[in-house]
Structure formats: structure tokens, C-alpha cells
């Protein structure tokens, strides 16, 4: 392997930059020329590729987002488009590609692998919904950002004896809600696995208030309720407690990557280069029980999510006690 390219695809996540840096630097250390593909699969198709040999990647180690940009590019599902994208790599003599993205990006990576591009995928999404890794790139930072914001919300709710219904991201995966709930002592955690009605939330808020709680925090995963403000109204009506609904939205996505994020991203980036230098392809990198591991992308996409129903109930019980 003489030349390798890297791209970021799908939603941006803090940690993508330190991962890119690790891939670029580790390639250079192994005498492999690194290339940057701008704007994900879209830029790959359009040939937005440049050598990273003389680019200072070090300054991005502590920056959120992705300095090589990301894109959503549904056209990549078209085999003719993928063929043209592969030709862009062939033209530059690039034999291998590292893709950082979520499960959609993994599908694209698998298809490139099947076309003969040596492709390795890294889990890049704040949602922690890639099951071939205990932690996705971006998750730890987003979790810390959520906690920081909920702490602030708690101050205000406590000062005014109110309840807050706070919606967080997750794309169907409850980890951000569940663990931010444990870390902030949220009185109610609602995820896809533990859905309850707004009326039921209202009853719990009432009960918690009667128990002497001054402020109440309810954390809910996105896409469970149609409108968080409507939920707040119902909760207020049933509990009698002033209730505000709020969604953290894109506040959760950016920001300075945490220590754990930078370390995990660098480890996974280095693993990708190591496997590529051995001629491996079609693998997804992850960190499982502390070890950096590789799983065939096809298998990685099929690993079921660990059921966290019992865990959610346990945390709710703890926080409501
Ligand atoms: P994520 O990677 O975060 O899950 P998306 O689902 O939007 O985000 O996927 C990112 C990109 O990956 C898409 O915009 C598209 O370019 C590519 N992609 C997604 N699914 C496929 C697929 N089935 N075949 C080829 N490319 C795909």
C-alpha cells in the first residue's frame, strides 16, 4: 500500500478531527502517502482529493466537527456513481480508503470494498448506535456536553421550582439519554426501550414533587414524542408544577473533543492504518471492553443492540428514590 485516503461522512462528530490526524500521521510514519477527501462520498465522486503530505493536521487535534467536511449524498447508492468515485481514486493511484461515519456510511464503505478498494470503517457519530464498538467517535463529547447543559438547566429549574423536559439526540439509540440521565440524576429517563406517556410523566413529576423534590429533570430521546412543548403542557397540567420543554438539538454535536474522545479516536485511526498496511479490507474498527478490534463491516451492521430496558428501569428507580 503506497497511498491511502480518508473521508468523513454523515453527521459530524467531535473526535473525527483527531481520528483524521492519527490516520494521516500514522500513514506518514509508515511511508504511506495520506490523502484527504473533502465532503464525504460527494467529494470522492467529484474528485475533491488532495495529498495531506504538506498539510498541518496537528492543529485540528482539539477541534470539533470535521475539517475535511461531511456530506449526505444519496447518489452514492447508484453503482455508476460509485464506479466513477472509484476511478477518482484509481487516477491518483490510491489503493485504500478510511471512512469515518455512521451505519449509512458503513454501507457505502462495504460496497467500495466489494469493488476492490481496500476500505476500513471507523464509527463516527454522537449517537453511539454502531454496535461493533462500545463507543463511537463523538459519543463521549456529546454526553459531556449534554451533562454540562442539563446541570445549567437544573440550576434554573431548582431556583424556580420547575420541571424541565429535555430532549436529546440518539437516532433511536437511548445511550445519550440513559447515561446523561444517570450522570445528572434526572428523575425520569425516557428511551425507545422505556417509553411512557406524557400523562405518566406528569404523575411521576407530581409524586416526586410531593416527595420534596424542588426541581425535576426529565430526559427523553429524540423522536419519541412529536412535540416536546406539548408534552410539557400535559405534564404541567397533571403535576401542577411549572414545566418547560426544550430540545438541545445541534448544541450537542460540536465542541472540543474530550480526553477520552481524542484517545479513542487516535487508537482507532492507528488501527485502521495498521490493518491497511497489512492489506486488510472490509473491516469496521471498534473498541470493545478496552481493546481495539476489527469486525467485518457486513457483520458489524448486523450486531444487535444490547437491550437496556432493565438498566433504564434501574437508573429511573435510583433517581426517583
Ligand atoms: P450516517 O453515516 O451517519 O449513518 P447517512 O445514513 O446519511 O449517515 O449516510 C451517509 C452517506 O452514506 C449517505 O449520504 C450516502 O452517501 C452513503 N450511504 C448511505 N447508505 C448507503 C447505501 N445503502 N449504499 C451506498 N451508500 C450509502
> Is 0.95 surpassed by the pTM of this model?
yes
**C-alpha 246 – ligand 1 centre gap (Å):** 29
Based on the residue annotation, tell me whether 151 is a catalytic residue of this protein.
no
Upper half-sphere CA count for residue 248 (Cβ side, 13 Å): 31
Question: Residues enclosing ligand 1, CB less than 6 A?
Answer: 9-11, 41, 72-74, 76-77, 101-105, 107-108, 111, 125
Per the structure block, which three cell numbers stand in for 109? Answer: 464503505
Q: How far, in Å, CA of 119 to CA of 275, rounded?
A: 10
Backbone φ, ψ for residue 12 (5° rounding): -70, 155
pLDDT digits (tens, 9 = 90+) for 150-165: 999 999 999 999 999 9
Q: Are 268 and 285 in contact (CB under 8 A)?
A: yes
Q: In tens digits, what is the pLDDT along the chain, a chain of 321 residues?
A: 999 999 999 999 999 999 999 999 999 999 999 999 999 999 999 999 999 999 999 999 999 999 999 999 999 999 999 999 999 999 999 999 999 999 999 999 999 999 999 999 999 999 999 999 999 999 999 999 999 999 999 999 999 999 999 999 999 999 999 999 999 999 999 999 999 999 999 999 999 999 999 999 999 999 999 999 999 999 999 999 999 999 999 999 999 999 999 999 999 999 999 999 999 999 999 999 999 999 999 999 999 999 999 999 999 999 999
Q: Are 288 and 303 in contact (CB under 8 A)?
A: no
Q: Is the dihedral of CA 142, 143, 148, 152 positive or negative?
A: positive
Q: How far, in Å, CA of 301 to CA of 24, rounded?
A: 26
To test ligand 1's pocket by mutation, which of 104, 110, 137 has the most ligand atoms within 8 angstroms of CB?
104
Q: How far, in Å, CA of 270 to CA of 192, rounded?
A: 34
Amino acid at each position: 500500500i503506497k497511498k491511502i485516503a480518508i473521508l468523513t461522512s454523515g453527521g459530524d462528530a467531535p473526535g473525527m478531527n483527531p481520528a483524521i490526524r492519527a490516520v494521516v500521521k500514522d500513514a506518514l510514519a509508515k511511508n504511506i502517502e495520506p490523502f484527504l477527501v473533502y465532503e464525504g462520498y460527494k467529494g470522492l465522486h467529484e474528485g475533491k482529493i488532495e495529498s495531506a503530505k504538506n498539510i498541518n493536521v496537528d492543529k485540528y487535534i482539539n477541534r470539533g466537527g470535521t475539517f475535511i467536511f461531511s456530506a449526505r449524498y444519496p447518489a452514492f447508492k447508484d453503482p455508476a456513481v460509485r464506479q466513477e468515485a472509484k476511478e477518482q481514486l484509481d487516477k491518483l493511484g490510491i489503493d485504500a480508503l478510511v471512512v469515518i461515519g455512521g451505519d449509512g456510511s458503513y454501507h457505502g464503505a462495504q460496497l467500495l470494498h466489494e469493488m476492490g478498494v481496500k476500505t476500513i470503517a471507523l464509527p463516527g457519530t454522537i449517537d453511539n448506535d454502531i454496535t461493533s464498538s462500545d463507543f463511537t467517535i463523538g459519543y463521549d463529547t456529546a454526553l459531556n456536553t449534554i451533562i454540562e447543559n442539563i446541570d445549567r438547566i437544573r440550576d434554573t429549574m431548582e431556583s424556580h421550582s420547575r420541571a424541565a423536559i429535555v430532549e436529546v439526540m440518539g437516532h433511536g439509540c437511548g445511550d445519550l439519554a440513559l447515561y446523561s440521565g444517570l450522570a445528572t440524576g434526572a428523575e425520569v429517563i425516557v428511551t425507545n426501550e422505556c417509553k411512557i406517556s406524557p400523562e405518566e410523566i406528569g404523575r411521576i413529576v407530581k409524586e416526586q414533587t410531593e416527595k420534596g423534590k424542588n426541581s425535576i429533570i426529565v430526559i427523553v430521546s429524540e423522536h419519541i414524542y412529536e412535540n416536546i412543548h406539548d408534552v410539557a403542557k400535559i405534564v404541567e397540567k397533571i403535576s401542577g408544577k411549572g414545566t418547560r420543554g426544550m430540545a438541545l438539538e445541534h448544541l450537542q454535536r460540536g465542541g472540543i473533543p474530550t480526553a477520552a474522545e481524542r484517545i479513542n479516536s487516535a487508537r482507532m485511526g492507528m488501527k485502521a492504518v495498521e490493518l491497511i498496511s497489512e492489506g486488510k479490507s472490509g473491516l469496521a474498527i471498534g473498541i470493545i471492553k478496552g481493546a481495539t478490534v476489527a469486525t467485518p463491516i457486513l457483520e458489524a451492521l448486523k450486531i444487535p443492540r444490547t437491550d437496556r430496558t432493565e438498566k433504564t428501569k434501574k437508573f429511573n428507580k435510583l433517581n426517583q428514590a
